[in-house]
Structure 1
Amino acid sequence: MKIDEQLLLSYSAEIRTYNEKEAIFLEGDAPAYFFQIIEGNVKVNNYNEEGKEFIHNILGKGQSFGDPLLFIDKKYPVNAYTLKPSTIIRLPRKNFINLIKEHPHVSMEMNACLSHRLYYNMIMVQNMASQQPALRITGLFDYLKSYTDCEDAHGFNVKLTRQQIADLTGLRVETIIRTLKKMEQDKLVKIEDRKIYY
């Protein structure tokens, strides 16, 4: 969900620029801001006890992140890093809560957005349990597409590398490459110049 930038600024939001691979917040930090991307990309991830990375999402222009935790008293269970130089607007937690209270339509839009994400998260978790690689991949793509307004078939550009798809699905890169080729033959995805469209 995207909140109007002028509305955010009217509640004392600030615009910050981050370098490539800079941490925005780390696992264990207390949520202090609502974040929305103006330009750039943000990776939300964490690492297991063996140090293997698990990518939860890669977000782009107009998308917000970290917001569900602003409503509960919990620490971040994930990290957020920029993937390239990025400009992000951030609004202090207290100001964000005031904005939500004073603009009920924003609260309703946010509830709808969070419900949408939760729905696709449940579908993705179900598909991740599948032994079929194509189901795992489509579950992931449906989840990522749910963060956008795109409803067209093959209109959503999956901005992930084959390695990132493997990290997100728990599959090997070779399996991802082979399955994507089969999915393209079955017209489930379109691949142009190595870019994946779902």
Structure 2
Amino acid sequence: MIICENLLFSHGAELQNYIPGEYIFEEESTPKYYLQIKSGTVKLSSFLEDGKEFIHGIPFDGHCLAETYLFHDKKYAVNAIAITDCEIIRLEKNKLMKMLQKKPDLFFNIYSYTADRMHYRYIIAAPFSFQDPLAKLNLILNHIKNHFGFKEKFSYHIPYTRQQLASLTGMRIETVIRTIKKMEKQDLLKIDGTKIFI
């Protein structure tokens, strides 16, 4: 978790519940709250002109949502949509700023989280220039595995569906399905039912 939940509640935060498919915030809306996921999974996405969805990230328990928007006056450039039932801790922007003035060390927590997310962005940006779907998918899956500290072969269960992987990589779902099967044949990952282990 980025900021201690008790600290957030002691400064006036409230708990909001969302059901799958419900918007937590929409693109072009004005950021008014610091949002931290108590439980559940959210997708940060944009819809392209052809109606396709591009997923920027899939944060879950303990992560915060688009926190950088609280430090300037721009509107959200993405949507935040609940994938599962979610409990979101919500603290008004002005209350967050007062809390940060009292506890400036919290800036380091937020900045460290943002820096980690930027590192992930830089890692996954390179594969988008790859023509080979296998190279693209392999790099992203291994980065996710390494991010969570898993080292052993097939020790990490990828928490994304094939459709979510397609949206994360910009590939068609059919391409992702074929590529995953090809990776299994090359012993790069293991499939157990619908689960993917890398």
Shorter-chain TM-score category?
Answer: 0.7 to 0.9
> What is aligned with 1:151?
149
Percent same amino acid at aligned positions? Answer: 37
Task: Give SS of 1:157's match.
Answer: coil
Q: Residues 49 and 12 from structure 1, CA distance in 2 versus in 1: closer, same or farther, beyond 3 angstroms?
A: same
> What is aligned with 2:45?
45
Q: Residues 144 and 110 from structure 1, CA distance in 2 versus in 1: closer, same or farther, beyond 3 angstroms?
A: farther
Matching of residues 1-198 of structure 1 within 5 Å: 1-141=1-141, 144=144, 150-153=148-151, 154-198=154-198
Unmatched runs of 5 consecutive residues or more in structure 1: none
Task: Give SS of 1:36's match.
Answer: strand
**Please, which moves more after superposition, 129-138 or 188-197?**
188-197
Distance in 1 between residues matched to 2:138 and 2:99, nearest whole Å: 36
Q: For the Cα contact (< 8 Å) 1:31–1:75, is it kept in 2?
A: yes
Distance in 1 between residues matched to 2:98 and 2:138, nearest whole Å: 38
Distance in 2 between residues matched to 1:97 and 1:191, nearest whole Å: 46
- Deviations 1:25-63 (CA, angstroms, capped at 9, x unpaired): 100001111111112221111111222111112222122
The total of aligned residue pairs comes to 196
Distance in 1 between residues matched to 2:160 and 2:23, nearest whole Å: 19
User: 1:184: Cα distance to partner?
Assistant: 3.4
Q: Residues 105 and 185 from structure 1, CA distance in 2 versus in 1: closer, same or farther, beyond 3 angstroms?
A: farther
User: 1:143: Cα distance to partner?
Assistant: 6.0
Q: For the Cα contact (< 8 Å) 2:39–2:86, is it kept in 1?
A: yes
Distance in 1 between residues matched to 2:106 and 2:42, nearest whole Å: 23
Q: For the Cα contact (< 8 Å) 2:23–2:80, is it kept in 1?
A: yes
User: 1:101: Cα distance to partner?
Assistant: 2.8
Q: Residues 109 and 177 from structure 1, CA distance in 2 versus in 1: closer, same or farther, beyond 3 angstroms?
A: same
User: 1:142: Cα distance to partner?
Assistant: 5.4
Distance in 1 between residues matched to 2:16 and 2:4, nearest whole Å: 16
Q: Residues 57 and 144 from structure 1, CA distance in 2 versus in 1: closer, same or farther, beyond 3 angstroms?
A: farther
Q: For the Cα contact (< 8 Å) 2:3–2:109, is it kept in 1?
A: no
Task: Give SS of 2:76's match.
Answer: coil
Aligned residue type for 1:81 = I
Aligned residue type for 1:82 = A
Q: Residues 56 and 108 from structure 1, CA distance in 2 versus in 1: closer, same or farther, beyond 3 angstroms?
A: same
User: 1:98: Cα distance to partner?
Assistant: 2.3
Distance in 2 between residues matched to 1:105 and 1:145, nearest whole Å: 29
